[in-house]
Homo-oligomer: A and B are copies of this chain.
Amino acid sequence: MTNAITDLRERLAGLTDLGHVAQLLDWDQQTMMPPGGGPARAEAKATIGRIRHELFIADETGRLLQEAGDQCNGASPDSDEVSLVRVVRRRWEKARRVPAELAAEMARAGALGHEAWVLARANRDYESFAPYLERNIQLTRQYIECLPEFDEAYDALLDDYEPGMRAAEVRRIFTELRDELVPLIAAIAATKQVDDSCVHGSFPVAGQRALVAAVLERMSFDRERWRLDEAAHPFATSFGCDDVRLTTRWDETYFPAALYGAMHECGHGLYEAGIARSLQRTPLGHAESLGLHESQSRMWENMVGRSRAFATVLAPLVGEHLGVSATPDTLFRAVNSVAPSFIRVEADEATYGLHIVIRFELEQELIEGRLSVADLPEAWNSRYRDYLGLEVTDPALGVLQDVHWSGGAIGYFPTYALGNLIAGQLWERVHRDIPELDSQIEAGELMGLREWLREHVHRHGAKFAMPELLQRVVGGPIAVGPFIAYLKDKLGDVYDTTL
């Protein structure tokens, strides 16, 4: 098109590169960096954070957005150019009210907090982590103060992870979700429990590696463009669609941790790898809504990975690589057993949502000053007692389990539960479009699903906010019903009952 758009793209391309640099600094810190590198890494993150922020909020960015917007006049709202201007202008208007020094300080504190958290978690020592969390919360409050237009403090944060979403709506959705989950969990607790002994035992890492490689290969993991490493808290990241980095962690006594962790992160990776080439090196070249992102990871992890259909594929692989002899039926039930547990990322699909509700409530209280950092462990433990009936005695299995707050990511957790709900809606829809999906999965053919997701979700990148995309794909807003229907159907099968 015209010059202003070219200039805007050029400027945003450099900013996208800086985003990749920031992600590499983080990936390296979580997978490769020796511990001694922490302080220098914090400074490097702060410097990149400040430069990115300064370049982004500069008047020049605004001028190019204005001119490019004018030149786009008349083009389709779905075109790359119009979408680029729309999405970037929204972010620019928010970001420019945050001083660069604060952005840098948040990056620095997040990096230092991460190192402190790794140590504190290993030593089961919340006290040593508390000052770093305190600092992150202080900075988060300063950040919120820059953004007075939001109705409530938490909205300013949530909007970074789930643009357009508000805390009040999340509360409404979570109330509905909790009201469905609590009786469901109770009903399951009252039935005969499943035998999950086949997933517990002794599983050498080498065998697990081979199992994970075999499964990821079916998901189209490509060694020329992807890699898999180990991390204390597994995550996925990408530096464009041709350099995708997954992580998992190995538990030698429970193989589903690494297997489903890897499938989960591969779901994230497929999203990033599936974004249209025309959007690469632009801010639209990475997915934006974390709820949508999580819908992909949870779908591959649970709706595919823990399905009765995929158990047919998995059972022989588990036999071959881990020496576990289990029928597909036994395996299917074992990996879907429902029981309250301490660790969110290893929770079953029914109790998972309650882990999120707890974090969402605690985050709001921390931010609003209704809960102090000193009192957080007690509040955490009491909530786990009330919601899940568990007595937390080890902070590594409690308040120190998650990486997010250490890095300053507050307002992020709700997107996990939203992701489950969105996955439920997409899962319902894809089955209508591909009636034979289950038999494809049973035959180990996963590319039909991947292509459908690529066509309907992945390729758009950050073009559309989550509500807009959902409207296009499922014809309505985010809803609890489909996920609950999926869950009742599946868990009824697992427990031989009607839920």
Q: Are the C-beta atoms of A18 and B40 separated by less than 8 Å?
A: no
Nearest CB of chain B from residue A430's CB, rounded to whole Å: 28
Q: Are the C-beta atoms of A20 and B34 separated by less than 8 Å?
A: no
Q: Are the C-beta atoms of A223 and B44 separated by less than 8 Å?
A: no
Q: Are the C-beta atoms of A14 and B224 separated by less than 8 Å?
A: no
Q: Are the C-beta atoms of A28 and B28 separated by less than 8 Å?
A: yes
Interface centre among A41, A223, A226 (most CB of B within 10 A): A41
Q: Which chain A residues in 347-373 approach chain B with CB under 8 Å?
A: none
Binds B, one of A70-78, A237-245, A415-423: A237-245
Q: Which chain A residues in 1-58 approach chain B with CB under 8 Å?
A: 13-14, 17-18, 20-21, 24-25, 28, 32-37, 39-41, 43-44, 46-48, 50-51
Q: Are the C-beta atoms of A239 and B48 separated by less than 8 Å?
A: no
Which of B18, B40, B227 interacts with A243 by CB under 8 Å? B40
Q: Are the C-beta atoms of B239 and A36 separated by less than 8 Å?
A: no
CA distance in complex: A20, B47 (Å): 11
Q: Are the C-beta atoms of A33 and B243 separated by less than 8 Å?
A: yes
Nearest CB of chain B from residue A29's CB, rounded to whole Å: 10
**Contacts known (A21-B21, A24-B28); A242 close to B44, Cβ less than 8 A:** no
Residue A281 at the chain B interface, CB threshold 8 Å = yes
Residues of B within 8 A of A44 (CB): 17, 20-21, 24, 239
Main secondary structure of the interface of A (DSSP, over half): helix
Which residue on chain B has the smallest CB distance to residue A42?
B17
CA distance in complex: A47, B48 (Å): 12
Which residue on chain B has the smallest CB distance to residue A55?
B51
Residue A225 at the chain B interface, CB threshold 8 Å = yes
Residues of B within 8 A of A21 (CB): 21, 25, 44, 47-48
Which residue on chain B has the smallest CB distance to residue A37?
B243
Residues of B within 8 A of A46 (CB): 17
Q: Are the C-beta atoms of B51 and A239 separated by less than 8 Å?
A: no
Residues of B within 8 A of A50 (CB): 14
Q: Which chain A residues in 379-407 approach chain B with CB under 8 Å?
A: none
CA distance in complex: A47, B44 (Å): 16
Nearest CB of chain B from residue A109's CB, rounded to whole Å: 16
Residues of B within 8 A of A20 (CB): 40, 44
Residues of B within 8 A of A32 (CB): 32, 227
Which residue on chain B has the smallest CB distance to residue A47?
B17
Which of B36, B227, B240 interacts with A40 by CB under 8 Å? B240
- A residues lining the B interface (CB < 8 Å): 13-14, 17-18, 20-21, 24-25, 28, 32-37, 39-41, 43-44, 46-48, 50-51, 222-227, 239-240, 242-244, 280-281
Show 17 A/B contacts (Cβ-Cβ < 8 Å), sorted by A: A14-B50, A17-B40, A17-B43, A20-B44, A24-B25, A24-B28, A34-B224, A34-B226, A34-B244, A35-B224, A35-B225, A36-B222, A36-B243, A40-B240, A40-B242, A40-B243, A40-B281
